[in-house]
Amino acid sequence: MIITLDNITKRYGSFVANDSISLSVRSGEVHCLLGENGAGKTTLMNVIYGLSKADGGQISIDGKAVQFASPKDAIAAGIGMVHQHFMLIPAFSVTENVVLGLEPTLFGDRLDLDAARKRVRDISAQFGLEIDPDAPLEGMPVGIQQRVEIVKILYRAADIMIFDEPTAVLTPQEVIEFFKIIESLRAAGKAILFITHKLNEVMEIADRITVLRHGKVVGEADPATTSSGELANLMVGRPVSMLVSRTEAKAGDVVLALENVHVTDGTSKLALDGIDLVVKAGEIVGIAGVHGNGQTELIEVIAGLRPIVDGRICFAGGDIAGISPRERHRRGLAHVPEDRSIAGLAVTMSVAENMVLDSYYEPRFSRFGRIDWSSVRKAAAQLVSQFDVRTKSVDASAASLSGGNQQKVVIAREMSRPIKLMIAAQPTRGVDVGSIEYIHKRIVEARDEGVGVLLVSTELDEVLALSDRILVMFDGRILAEFDSRTADRSLIGLAMAGVVTQSQTHAPEIAP
Ligand SMILES: Nc1ncnc2c1ncn2[C@@H]1O[C@H](COP(=O)(O)OP(=O)(O)OP(=O)(O)O)[C@@H](O)[C@H]1O
Ligand SMILES: [Mg+2]
H helix intervals, 49-171: 71-76, 94-99, 113-126, 142-155
Contact 276, 508 (CB under 8 A): yes
Q: Whose CA is nearest to atom 6 of ligand 1?
A: 400
Contact 20, 7 (CB under 8 A): yes
The confidence score (pLDDT) of residue 511 equals 46
CATH (one of 3.40.50.300, 3.30.70.330, 3.40.50.1000, 3.30.70.2390) for 2-236? 3.40.50.300
Give the Å distance between the CA of 37 and the centre of ligand 2. 7
Looking at the DSSP bridge assignments, the partners of residue 206 are none
The confidence score (pLDDT) of residue 277 equals 96
Give the Å distance between the CA of 51 and the centre of ligand 1. 14
The confidence score (pLDDT) of residue 343 equals 85
Q: Whose CA is nearest to atom 30 of ligand 1?
A: 401
Task: Just give the CATH number of 241-332+418-512.
Answer: 3.40.50.300
Q: Which ligand is nearest to the CA of 41?
A: 1
Distance set, CA 87 to CA 69, 73, 100, 324 (Å): 21, 19, 10, 33
How many angstroms separate the most distant Cα atoms in the chain? 74
Contact 103, 92 (CB under 8 A): no
In the chain, % of residues over pLDDT 70: 98
CA proximity to 79, closest of 13, 5, 132, 9: 5
Residue 426 Ramachandran class (φ > 0 left, ψ -120 to 50 alpha, else beta): left
> One digit per residue, pLDDT tens: the chain, 512 residues?
899 999 999 999 999 999 999 999 999 999 999 999 999 999 999 999 999 999 999 999 999 999 999 999 999 999 999 987 788 899 999 999 999 888 776 676 777 888 999 999 999 999 999 999 999 998 888 889 999 999 999 999 999 999 999 998 887 788 999 999 999 999 999 999 999 999 999 999 999 999 999 999 999 999 999 999 999 999 988 888 878 888 899 999 999 999 999 999 888 889 999 999 999 999 999 999 888 899 999 999 999 999 999 999 999 889 998 899 989 999 999 999 988 888 899 999 999 999 999 888 889 998 888 999 999 999 999 999 999 999 999 999 999 999 999 999 999 999 999 999 999 999 999 999 999 998 999 999 999 999 999 999 988 889 999 999 999 999 999 999 999 888 888 889 889 888 887 677 776 665 44
Element (H, E) at 508: none
What are the extents of the domains in the chain? Answer: 2-236, 241-332+418-512, 346-415
Q: What is the 3-state secondary structure (H, E, C) of 195-219?
A: ECCCHHHHHHHCCEEEEEECCEEEE
pLDDT digits (tens, 9 = 90+) for 283-306: 999 999 888 899 999 999 999 999
Contact 220, 211 (CB under 8 A): yes
The confidence score (pLDDT) of residue 31 equals 98
Contact 481, 279 (CB under 8 A): no
Pocket test for ligand 1, best of 43, 199, 236, 433 (most atoms within 8 A of CB): 43
The minimum-distance atom of ligand 1 relative to the CA of 404 is: 26
Q: How many CB atoms lie within 10 A of CB 347?
A: 14
Angle between helices 433-448 and 403-414 (to 10 degrees): 10
**Separation between Cα atoms, residue 215 and residue 39, nearest integer Å:** 5
**Separation between Cα atoms, residue 87 and residue 45, nearest integer Å:** 17
Give the Å distance between the CA of 195 and the centre of ligand 2. 8
**Residue 270, SS3?**
strand
The minimum-distance atom of ligand 1 relative to the CA of 44 is: 18
The confidence score (pLDDT) of residue 112 equals 84
Contact 51, 80 (CB under 8 A): no
Question: In sequence order, what are the residues at sequence separation of 6 or more whose Cβ sits closer than 8 angstroms to the Cβ of residue 109?
Answer: none
Distance in Å from the first CA to the final CA of the chain: 68
Q: What is the 3-state secondary structure (H, E, C) of 348-361?
A: CCEHHHHHCCCCCC
Question: In sequence order, what are the residues at sequence separation of 6 or more whose Cβ sits closer than 8 angstroms to the Cβ of residue 50?
Answer: 68, 69, 70, 71, 72, 73, 74, 79
Q: What is the pTM of this model?
A: 0.88
DSSP 8-state symbol, 427: T
What are the backbone angles phi and psi of residue 72, rounded to the nearest 5°? -55, -45
Handedness of CA 458, 461, 463, 469 (dihedral sign): positive
Domains 2-236 and 241-332+418-512 share a fold: yes
Q: Whose CA is nearest to atom 3 of ligand 1?
A: 400
Angle between helices 172-187 and 142-155 (to 10 degrees): 20
The minimum-distance atom of ligand 1 relative to the CA of 390 is: 29
Contact 81, 33 (CB under 8 A): no
Pocket test for ligand 1, best of 194, 387, 401 (most atoms within 8 A of CB): 401
The confidence score (pLDDT) of residue 329 equals 92
Q: Whose CA is nearest to atom 25 of ligand 1?
A: 37
**Separation between Cα atoms, residue 168 and residue 176, nearest integer Å:** 13
CA quadruple 186, 189, 193, 196: dihedral, nearest 10: 0
**Residues with Cβ within 6 A of ligand 1?**
12, 17, 35, 37-43, 390, 400-405, 432
Q: Whose CA is nearest to atom 8 of ligand 1?
A: 400
What are the backbone angles phi and psi of residue 135, rounded to the nearest 5°? -65, 140
Q: Whose CA is nearest to atom 9 of ligand 1?
A: 400
The confidence score (pLDDT) of residue 296 equals 93
Give the Å distance between the CA of 54 and the centre of ligand 1. 14
